[in-house]
Structures are given as structure tokens and as C-alpha cells.
Amino acid sequence: MTDPKNLESWLHEKAGPAYDALKADPARAVTADQVRYTLDELLAEAEASGQYPLPPEQREWVDAPAVGRELLPEDLQTAEAIAAFLADAETTADPAYIQHAREVAALASIAISGGAAGGSHRRK
């Protein structure tokens, strides 16, 4: 019989943050009895409810090219994500973007450590 403590350590080692998140909030687990839809089923339902296809003004917005590097500090929820974001910014060699990334990372770090961060931070 497997020792529960060893099993928990093994799960943490193999699944890492996914196991930790599931342990913290078991409601996130996907169960076998949950309904699963195909893309065709979802599109048919959206068409029936009038949500698809999108009206021209929304389609124009969806099809528009990216205009900047937008990121919310709340999107950076781990130290690893912050480090990856900063590393990506450094590869651009763009001093303004690197500074922007540092500011967003600082806000994200505050949020992770229990402080309050909020708002959208955009660089144009």
C-alpha cells in the first residue's frame, strides 16, 4: 500500500502547480460526467442564439492586427511567469518596452505577495 504522504509528494513532483491548484480548489477538477461539446456543436448553438456569426463591427475588431503589447499584472501569477515575461522583454532590446515590463512585473510581484495591483498596463 502506498503511503499517502509519499503519494502527495509524488503528485506534487509530477504534476506540480496543476496538482497544487486542484488540491486548493477541487471544484476545478474535470469529471467524466461533465458535458463535452465539439466545435460544430458549439457553433450551431451560437448560431441558434444569434451570437454567431459576429456582426460586422465586432468582426472588424477581431480581425484587426495587434496594436501593442498589452498585459495585465494579474496575468503574471507566478515568479516563473514574471521571469519569463522579463526575459522576453530583454530579448527585444527595446529600452522603453524593457522599462514597461519591469513596471508590470513589479506590480505583479506585489499582487503575488498579497498587495493590491490592478488596471491595464499598455505600451503603444
Spell out the per-residue pLDDT of the chain, length 124, in tens: 567 778 878 877 877 777 777 777 777 776 667 778 899 999 999 999 998 888 888 888 888 887 666 677 888 888 888 999 999 999 999 998 899 899 989 988 887 777 544 444 444 4
- Where are the chain's structural domains? 68-124
Predicted model pTM: 0.38
Ramachandran region, residue 25 (left: φ > 0; alpha: ψ -120 to 50; beta: rest) = beta
Please name the residues in contact with 54: beta carbons below 8 A apart, sequence gap of 6 or more. 62
Specify which residues 121 forms β-bridges with. 71
C-alpha cell at 83: 521571469
CA distance 46 to 123: 34
CA distance 108 to 104: 6
Q: Which pLDDT does position 117 carry in this prediction?
A: 44
Q: Which pLDDT does position 68 carry in this prediction?
A: 66
C-alpha cell at 77: 501569477
Closest CA to 109 of 78, 70, 84, 71: 78
Q: Which pLDDT does position 124 carry in this prediction?
A: 41
